[in-house]
Amino acid sequence: METYNINMEQKMTRFNEVCKNAGIKLTHQRMEIFKEVAGSKAHPDAESVFRGVHERMPTLSQDTVYRTLWLLKDLGLITTVGVSRERTRFDGNIHPHHHFVCSRCGSTYDFHSRELDELNLPDQIKDMGRADDFQVTVKGVCKDCSDS
Task: Catalog residues that contact Zn ion under the rule CB under 5 A.
Answer: 91, 93, 102, 104-105, 107, 110, 142, 145
Backbone angles phi, psi at 134, to 5 degrees: -150, 160
- C-alpha 64 chain-centroid distance: 17
d(C-alpha 62, C-alpha 46), whole Å: 8
Q: Nearer Cβ to Zn ion, position 28 or 104?
A: 104
In the complex, what is the shortest distance from the CB of residue 99 to Zn ion, in angstroms, rounded to a whole number? 6
In the complex, what is the shortest distance from the CB of residue 93 to Zn ion, in angstroms, rounded to a whole number? 5
Q: Nearer Cβ to Zn ion, position 56 or 104?
A: 104
In the complex, what is the shortest distance from the CB of residue 135 to Zn ion, in angstroms, rounded to a whole number? 8
Q: Nearer Cβ to Zn ion, position 60 or 102?
A: 102
d(C-alpha 49, C-alpha 105), whole Å: 18
Q: Nearer Cβ to Zn ion, position 62 or 107?
A: 107
In the complex, what is the shortest distance from the CB of residue 20 to Zn ion, in angstroms, rounded to a whole number? 26
Contact criterion met (CB below 8 Å) for 98 and 108: no
Phi-psi region of 106 (alpha: psi -120 to 50; beta: other; left: phi over 0): left
